[in-house]
Structure 1
């Protein structure tokens, strides 16, 4: 007699091909709409599931995990970032946590370069004029931005995505600098022609573009605080496709409004979808709705990793993308 299939609850709609494959393998409860679950709905889902498949929009803390009961055995996160999950508390309760690293590297790096170009070449301002119907024709001095070739790019966080950004930036003729907890191996540094800075303060004060590519952890919360933002050159811009909490958003808004920073390109925000209204008003700021990994290919590959993690767990083995507390 075959073993009973695992009960799996999805908190959001996933690509159809992913949901179809999950239904073939597991006893899946799909989300009828694509509205994020309330805290009570999350708690109930965790009580009736063997496996929960949450997203970045689902904060799962110790208090919520305490309501899970004994049925839940795996949280198979749909996404690489896991700062919304209290992994240590989950493990203490015997609940494993997996994620989907690596599959969004190229997509996020593409979006980082798009934001760099968008801010430095003033693309949204030009689009807004065209959409308003008020364009009167070409002018020699209209919408003059800056050339990215020759500029110094500082990368904060030189993991997979940071290195992918560096490769793209070199193709555009940018000079690559980086700050990381650990210096890269010499051969990797040589490949992307990157200069390591042990001091983040010193790097920030010298670059023309700063790209945030580090995860959100207690040590990186407001890493770019008001003091550090003031070190940036008034002509510099900052781009963030990682986690909004790394930047003090209010301080950034004040400084851009005051002309102390030339502009910003943000795909993530400190308070989720609640964005400082003064930030939205600024013409030299490009805001995107967390689109960094939003490609068909990337989202399907994320789903495939989730399926592999659940299937491996169902077969009695360690999920290949198991998140281990203390190694994050």
Structure 2
């Protein structure tokens, strides 16, 4: 009797030619229209599959996998994975993967673009011109802040933070300070053109602050009213990390009352909902979580997720060796194949 093919679910429309690679090994159920899957729908979809390819829009925890008896791998299309309950997946023996590396430079590009847009009031100037106000021009119209020669502070000095530091230091002659949970080796600091600083010191010294750190419960609202009060009133804030790092109401208050010059956000606390108080401000740039949104990078992310999904199922060129396992403790040398009674990886093995 022929060994059954594994079943996989693709949660959102992605790139058809890349997703089609799954069909060489698996029976594929691919969602053909952008869909908001609620918890019940996710649970129903996951119940009958061996693997799933999901995006940040799919929030998956214990309730969604309760009936997913054959599920072995969830491949997340994104470097972040706070849409997944990693503890719940680990307890169920389900591998979770992400797509780091391939989006580093593209996300750094977007971070620097937001930095420039906020500092030089690009969006505000565009709106002002379109509204027909150019006839009211004066010598002090739309004065912004320089980037060249200024001080840039980066909180979170992983791959993306380092890429932004290089752009600032080598491209714009900026003094770059950074704060990280762990100080970087001297040679990495030198390559990035960055110097370590304590968090409180960094807040008080920088002209521009950029957040590029992972979100956790411990750093929820890291940038709150007290942190904003330590910053220069002329400073700008950019967040390309996760929305929960910033107390959005405190930010609104600081921007509205001149205690912070400008901000730019690509991420929000309650995506896709954006507070009306934020949308009403003139001195803020708002983009819809597009850090990785170049064609080449998004294609590379989907390819990485497909590769991870196949490898996690014990299939393809990298069978049993998915490159980007978030809960790496589940891997004990090689992943279990679907054919051997569908057994999951023993999470007690190390």
Per the normalisation by structure 2, the TM-score is: 0.88
Q: Tell me the distance in 1 between the aligned counterparts of 2:225 and 2:138.
A: 37
List per-residue Cα deviations over 1:253-301 (Å, max 9, x = no partner).
1111111111100000011121111111111100001111101111111
312-321 vs 166-175, greater mean Cα deviation: 312-321
Q: Secondary structure at the match of 1:282?
A: coil
1:57 Cα deviation from its structure 2 partner: 1.3
Q: Tell me the distance in 1 between the aligned counterparts of 2:131 and 2:6.
A: 53
Q: Tell me the distance in 2 between the aligned counterparts of 1:150 and 1:120.
A: 13
What residue in structure 1 maps to residue 140 of structure 2? 141
What residue in structure 1 maps to residue 164 of structure 2? 165
Q: Decide whether aligned partners of structure 1 residues 218 and 59 sit closer, same or farther in structure 2, where only a CA change above 3 A counts.
A: same
Structure 1 residue ranges (4+ consecutive) displaced by more than 6 angstroms after TM superposition: none
Would the aligned equivalents of 2:53 and 2:309 in 1 still touch at CA under 8 Å?
A: no
Residue 261 of structure 2 is aligned to residue 262 of structure 1? yes
Return 5+ residue gaps in structure 1 as ranges.
none
What residue in structure 1 maps to residue 289 of structure 2? 290
Q: Secondary structure at the match of 1:309?
A: helix
Task: Map 1:89-104; keep pairs closer than 5 Å.
Answer: 89-104=88-103
Would the aligned equivalents of 1:17 and 1:300 in 2 still touch at CA under 8 Å?
A: no
Would the aligned equivalents of 2:223 and 2:247 in 1 still touch at CA under 8 Å?
A: yes
Q: Secondary structure at the match of 1:53?
A: strand
What residue in structure 1 maps to residue 118 of structure 2? 119
Task: Map 1:78-227; keep pairs closer than 5 Å.
Answer: 78-136=77-135, 139-170=138-169, 171-197=171-197, 199-227=198-226
1:97 Cα deviation from its structure 2 partner: 0.7
Structure number, greater radius of gyration? 2
Q: Secondary structure at the match of 1:164?
A: helix
Would the aligned equivalents of 2:13 and 2:33 in 1 still touch at CA under 8 Å?
A: yes
Q: Decide whether aligned partners of structure 1 residues 2 and 317 sit closer, same or farther in structure 2, where only a CA change above 3 A counts.
A: farther
1:326 Cα deviation from its structure 2 partner: 8.7
Q: Tell me the distance in 1 between the aligned counterparts of 2:277 and 2:11.
A: 32
What residue in structure 2 maps to residue 241 of structure 1? 240
Give the RMSD, CA atoms, in angstroms: 1.8
Q: Secondary structure at the match of 1:219?
A: helix
1:120 Cα deviation from its structure 2 partner: 0.7
1:107 Cα deviation from its structure 2 partner: 0.8
What residue in structure 2 maps to residue 15 of structure 1? 15
What residue in structure 1 maps to residue 341 of structure 2? none
Per the normalisation by structure 1, the TM-score is: 0.94
In the alignment of these two chains, the number of paired residues is 325
Q: Decide whether aligned partners of structure 1 residues 25 and 201 sit closer, same or farther in structure 2, where only a CA change above 3 A counts.
A: same
Residue 278 of structure 2 is aligned to residue 279 of structure 1? yes
1:311 Cα deviation from its structure 2 partner: 2.0
Q: Secondary structure at the match of 2:70?
A: coil
